[in-house]
């Protein structure tokens, strides 16, 4: 979502949104010098709340229910109190737009209101563009909002990117819907792990352990999807992981009634392997780190066989580039063979 803030020094409302590899900011509106700072902050808060509603609709695949004209009209001509009565809209998104309009109406002149309305339209257009699969510009923040499906066209884009670079190109986290990106990356990770397992003569769980030992890092996500969830379909794994994270963020914990509680404490701990606040980036980062971990194990094995006792980092950039090319070709063949 887009987060808004008041910059009292520059007297502006600033908008900031994620892109998958950082955040982008721009000036949304110039605040009248005579407007109380508390009203400027409330404007920013209401804009952030409206953006939250809009992107929640996108994530729930309900963006088609958004009426841009209705939201803009609500900001321009909000419901105002009549005596002690105030009409409250049933739709939370529309009501937030009316709340924003009531705050902006207290600002002098029309320029501030016009700028706020323009930014609301820009945010709405970004959500609708993302819903149509256009993840560029402001709509690129859709990469932070996983949906419950992996669109076929987005899967094609993800697989094309991974075919060009099986070690995970940066664009996989900046230009592809996160569910589709994760499904495709998981498939390539499984293929990579199988290639390496065959090469080193170990099972996939051992490959993960070797990757962690060589890289001195915890590959929790890769270990979970390659070992704990090894037999499940990619689409099922990704959807379950995202749903667990989203439920955890909302304070919900799902416990299977068929599993007995812990005998000592009378309950069973439930957790998610992802960061509930940023599940999409956490999953994709974990999968890409797994891809690199597989390559490290493969590289270590090749170099050790060729020159026992040699540190792979000391074989030279040219040789590593050549080995990387050979490795990626082998992974591509594995994917093509449907391994």
Give yes or no: residues 209 and 276 share one domain.
yes
Give yes or no: residues 121 and 160 share one domain.
no
Give yes or no: residues 213 and 124 share one domain.
no
- pLDDT tens string, the chain, 339 residues long: the values are 999 999 999 999 999 999 988 899 999 999 999 999 999 999 999 999 999 999 999 999 999 999 999 999 999 999 998 888 888 888 999 999 999 999 999 999 899 999 999 999 999 999 999 999 899 999 999 999 999 888 899 999 999 999 999 999 999 999 999 999 999 999 999 999 999 999 999 999 999 999 999 999 999 999 999 998 888 999 999 999 998 888 888 777 655 555 555 545 555 456 789 998 899 999 999 999 999 999 999 999 998 887 777 676 667 788 889 999 999 999 999 998 765
Cα–Cα distance, 284 to 282 (Å, whole number): 6
Give yes or no: residues 98 and 160 share one domain.
no
pTM: 0.85
Where a domain ends, among 100, 117, 143?
A: 143
Where a domain ends, among 110, 143, 176?
A: 143
Give yes or no: residues 70 and 104 share one domain.
yes
Give yes or no: residues 134 and 242 share one domain.
no
Where a domain ends, among 143, 175, 208?
A: 143
> Which residues on adjacent β-strands are paired with residue 3?
16
Give yes or no: residues 162 and 216 share one domain.
yes
Give yes or no: residues 320 and 184 share one domain.
yes
How many domains is the chain built from?
2
Give yes or no: residues 30 and 85 share one domain.
yes
Give yes or no: residues 15 and 96 share one domain.
yes
Give yes or no: residues 127 and 52 share one domain.
yes
| 32 Rama class: left (phi>0) / alpha (psi -120 to 50) / beta | beta
Residues of the domain holding 317: 152-336
Give yes or no: residues 19 and 106 share one domain.
yes
């Amino acid at each position: 979502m887009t987060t808004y803030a008041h910059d009292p020094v520059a007297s502006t409302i600033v908008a900031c949104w994620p892109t998958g590899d950082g955040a982008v900011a721009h000036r949304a509106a110039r605040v009248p010098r005579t407007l109380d700072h508390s009203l400027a902050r409330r404007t920013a808060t209401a804009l952030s709340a409206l953006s939250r509603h809009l992107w929640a609709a996108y994530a729930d695949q309900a963006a088609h229910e958004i009426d841009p004209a209705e939201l803009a009209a609500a900001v321009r001509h909000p419901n105002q109190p009549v005596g002690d009565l105030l009409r409250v809209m049933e739709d939370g998104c529309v009501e937030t737009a009316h709340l924003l309009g009531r705050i902006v109406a207290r600002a002098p002149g029309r320029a501030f209101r016009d700028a706020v309305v323009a930014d609301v339209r820009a945010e709405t257009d970004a959500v609708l563009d993302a819903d149509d699969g256009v993840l560029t510009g402001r709509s690129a923040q859709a990469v932070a909002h996983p949906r419950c499906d992996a669109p076929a066209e987005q899967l094609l884009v993800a697989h094309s990117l991974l075919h060009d670079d099986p070690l995970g190109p940066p664009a996989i986290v900046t230009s592809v819907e996160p569910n589709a990106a994760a499904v495709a990356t998981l498939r390539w990770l499984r293929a990579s792990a199988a290639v390496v397992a065959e090469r080193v003569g170990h099972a996939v769980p051992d490959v993960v352990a070797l990757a962690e030992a060589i890289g001195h890092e915890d590959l929790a996500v890769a270990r979970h999807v390659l070992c704990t969830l090894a037999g499940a379909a990619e689409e099922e794994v990704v959807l379950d992981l995202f749903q667990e994270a989203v439920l955890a963020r909302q304070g919900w914990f799902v416990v299977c009634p068929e599993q007995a509680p812990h005998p000592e404490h009378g309950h069973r701990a439930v957790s998610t392997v992802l960061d509930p606040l940023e599940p999409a980036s956490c999953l994709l980062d974990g999968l890409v780190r797994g891809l690199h971990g597989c390559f490290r194990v493969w590289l270590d094995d090749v170099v050790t066989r060729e020159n026992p006792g040699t540190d792979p980092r000391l074989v030279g950039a040219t040789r590593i580039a050549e080995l990387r090319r050979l490795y990626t070709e082998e992974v591509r063949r594995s994917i093509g063979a449907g391994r």
